[in-house]
């Protein structure tokens, strides 16, 4: 798996090139993301077919779970970087971004993509923590890229809450290292994932219980799980839209990846009950917390952000339910959410730039002036809320089914999932239908929506195909991820 360093290296190089080739930064960034999409796909589908591999003297570790995250980051970052070309050009035209700032936008964008690729590929959990922290730092200035008051507020909140959360994560990591240095001796390998996993049963159970709780709070903060989600709607709502795509589609999954690795570790030490129940609880809470904010929402991108809280909750819930069916559906759902949310944010961004606002009270009749983004928004909403025949219906159905067949707490989780999904379906559809076909005071100051068509179409088409027929390569991939997540110690 010698491709792994290339995957991290390409966006790093691209970031530097963006600074030096200021005028061509957009092209460099777009080209780099197409390259990483190709390399990422090779790594991902390679990891689905073979058992876990380690490379570079144990620095890199790739199994199906890493492969899935790499695939998601590659897809979402390609969508974000390609969309950014049109979005930034538009923002420069309207004076929202100064021309001199453009290169720095792409610099931070590519740097954050490099950090997101590093998270699932690094074997050492300490370095993985550093990579997750780097994703916060590199995206914080992007969130504040429009130097408006609200954007600065969102970025500050994001940075502070994220840093405190990850500090708790670091403390959990430290306790893990302490426990591991007993079992493995004090060496760098005591934080290596493969070594830890192999010796998980020898770790001190009471320490690992505290460590998992701390990591769940820490990485859960970054993953937008309630009640640590409070920064998320602000950051995702205020960021320039390509950054929202990246934060919502890719970064949340990277943080959740950290939680899942520690869940496996805790399972090896404590048995499956402890961490599964915590995940189940926090997942159900995230769904419940998101519902009211979706129902009474005033801002289109915040609406999508709360939907992200809900869906991260659904994935956590699915892993908490456990068993092959739920884990398969969890992996499937991570990909579904990333694709659907990319479409939705691109559509919302196009409408936002056209209307000059994201306030739902001022977005009306979009289907006439901007048919493609409006259609993308409605179809994307149908997809993400679990309407057949789109793929999220299949994955959510699988999770609910597994819940009803599972233990009593899983049953409660499934009921929460169904109730939450129904309410969010009604709430989101109400809002986006008003945007698409409603009548009201808002009128776009600019009738032209010159871009976004293809970006909206492609992920939606993929969701439609996967809903009807799941390609065998992906089916095997999700099964392999379920295998990794379900390995009995």
Partner 1 sequence: MNDAGAVVDGLAVALLAVALFSVTIRGLVAGVWLLVAQSALLALVAATMALWSGATHMWAAAFLTLTVRAIAVPAVLLWILRAVALRRETRPLLSTRHALILALALTLIAFFAAGRLELADAFPAHNALPVSLALIFVGLLLMTTRRKAVSQLVGLITIENGIFLAGLIATLGMPLFVEIGIFFDLLVAVGVTAVLTLRINEHFDTMNTDQLRRLRG
Cα dihedral value 230, 233, 235, 236, nearest 10: 150
Using the rule CB under 8 A, is 38 a contact of partner 1? no
**357: number of Cβ within 10 Å:** 17
- CA atoms of 143 and 335, how far apart (whole Å): 24
CB of residue 58 to partner 1, shortest distance in Å? 12
Q: At 70, list the tokens.
A: 């790499």
Contact range with partner 1 by CB under 8 A, out of 25-33, 73-81, 168-176, 428-436: 168-176
* CA 160 from centre of chain: 20
In the list 1, 190, 243, 334, the residue contacting partner 1 (rule: CB under 8 A) is 190
Classify the phi-psi angles of 293: left when phi > 0, otherwise alpha if psi is within -120 to 50, otherwise beta.
alpha
Q: Is 148 in the site for partner 1 (CB under 8 A)?
A: yes
The residue assigned the tokens 């057949």 is: 388
By CB under 8 A, is residue 472 in contact with partner 1?
Answer: no
Specify whether the CB–CB gap between 255 and 169 falls below 8 A: no
Candidate list 50, 98, 186, 487; residue touching partner 1; CB under 8 A: 186
Of 28-36, 149-157, 424-432, 456-464: span binding partner 1 (CB under 8 A): 149-157
Backbone angles phi, psi at 192, to 5 degrees: -75, 135
Kindly report the three-state secondary structure assignment for every residue of 76-133. Answer: HHHHHHHHHHHHHHHHHHCCCCCHHHHHHHHHHHHHHHHHHHHHHHECEHHHHHHHHH
CB of 147 to partner 1, least distance (A): 6
Please identify, using beta-carbon distances, which residue of 143 and 264 lies nearer to partner 1. Answer: 143
* 238 belongs to the binding site for partner 1 (CB under 8 A): yes
Rounded CA-CA distance 367/139 in Å is 33
| CB distance 235 to 155 below 8 Å | yes
Query: Least Å distance between CB 341 and partner 1?
Result: 20
**Candidate list 49, 51, 98, 150; residue touching partner 1; CB under 8 A:** 150
Tell me: does residue 261 bind partner 1 (CB under 8 A): no
* Contact call for residue 359 and partner 1 (CB under 8 A): no
Tokens 């390259």 locate to 35
Instruction: Please count the other Cβ atoms lying within 10 Å of the Cβ belonging to residue 369.
Output: 18
- Tracing tokens 């929402």 back to the chain, one arrives at 297
Give the x-and-dash track for 411-440 against partner 1 (CB under 8 A). Answer: ------------------------------
The answer to whether the peptide bond before residue 389 is cis (omega within 30 degrees of 0) is yes
Interface size with partner 1, residues (CB under 8 A): 50
x/- mask, partner 1, residues 270-309, rule CB under 8 A, reads -----------------------x--xxx---x-------
Candidates 156, 397, 404, 425; binder of partner 1 (CB under 8 A) is 156
Query: Contacting partner 1 (CB under 8 A), which of 234, 248, 318, 421?
Result: 234
Q: Give the one residue of 29, 124, 308, 395 binding partner 1; rule: CB under 8 A.
A: 124
Pick the closer one to partner 1 by CB: 136 or 343: 136
Q: How far is the CB of 54 from partner 1 (least distance, A)?
A: 17
What are 60's strand-pairing partners? 55, 122
For residue 249, give both structure tokens. Answer: 């589609």
Residues forming the site for partner 1 (CB under 8 A): 124, 126-127, 129-130, 133-134, 137, 140-141, 144, 147-150, 152-157, 159-160, 163-164, 167, 170-171, 174-175, 177-178, 181-182, 186-188, 190-191, 206, 210, 233-234, 237-238, 293, 296-298, 302
């Amino acid at each position: 798996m010698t491709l792994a360093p290339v995957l991290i290296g390409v966006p790093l190089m691209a970031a530097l090139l963006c600074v030096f080739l200021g005028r061509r930064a957009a092209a460099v960034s777009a080209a780099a993301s197409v390259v990483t999409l190709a390399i990422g796909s090779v790594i991902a589908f390679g990891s689905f077919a073979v058992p876990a591999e380690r490379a570079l003297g144990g620095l890199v570790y790739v199994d199906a779970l890493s492969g899935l995250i790499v695939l998601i980051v590659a897809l979402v970052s390609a969508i974000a970087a390609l969309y950014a070309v049109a979005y930034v050009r538009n923002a420069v035209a309207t004076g929202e971004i100064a021309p001199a700032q453009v290169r720095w936008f792409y610099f931070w964008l590519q740097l954050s993509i490099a950090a997101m690729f590093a998270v699932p590929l690094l074997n050492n959990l300490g370095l993985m923590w550093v990579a997750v922290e780097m994703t916060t730092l590199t995206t914080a200035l992007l969130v504040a890229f429009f130097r408006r008051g609200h954007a600065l507020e969102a970025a500050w909140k994001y940075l502070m809450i994220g840093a405190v959360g990850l500090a708790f994560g670091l403390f959990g990591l430290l306790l893990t290292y302490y426990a591991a240095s007993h079992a493995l001796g004090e060496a760098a390998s005591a934080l290596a994932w493969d070594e830890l996993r192999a010796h998980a049963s020898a770790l001190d159970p009471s320490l690992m219980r505290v460590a998992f709780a701390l990591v769940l709070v820490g990485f859960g903060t970054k993953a937008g799980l309630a009640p640590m989600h409070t920064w998320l709607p602000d950051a995702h709502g205020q960021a320039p839209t390509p950054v929202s795509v990246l934060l919502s589609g890719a970064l949340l999954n990277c943080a959740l990846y950290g939680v899942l690795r520690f869940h496996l570790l805790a399972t090896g030490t404590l048995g499956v009950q402890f961490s599964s129940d915590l995940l189940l609880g926090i997942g159900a809470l995230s769904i419940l917390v998101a519902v009211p904010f979706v129902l009474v929402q005033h801002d289109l991108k915040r609406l999508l952000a709360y939907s992200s809280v809900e869906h991260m909750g659904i994935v956590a819930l699915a892993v908490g339910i456990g068993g092959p069916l739920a884990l398969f559906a969890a992996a499937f759902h991570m990909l579904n959410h990333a694709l659907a949310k990319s479409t939705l944010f691109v559509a919302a961004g196009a409408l936002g730039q056209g209307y000059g606002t994201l306030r739902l009270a001022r977005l009306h009749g979009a289907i006439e002036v901007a048919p493609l983004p409006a259609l993308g928004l409605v179809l994307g909403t149908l997809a993400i809320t679990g309407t057949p025949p789109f793929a999220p219906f299949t994955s959510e159905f699988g999770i609910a089914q597994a819940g009803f067949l599972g233990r009593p707490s899983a049953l409660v989780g499934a009921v929460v999932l169904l109730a939450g999904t129904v309410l969010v379906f009604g709430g989101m559809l109400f809002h986006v239908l008003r945007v698409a076909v409603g009548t009201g005071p808002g009128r776009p100051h600019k009738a032209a929506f010159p871009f976004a068509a293809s970006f909206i179409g492609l992920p939606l088409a993929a969701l439609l195909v996967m809903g009807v027929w799941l390609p065998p390569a992906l089916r095997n991939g999700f099964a392999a991820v379920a295998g990794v997540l379900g390995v009995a110690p």
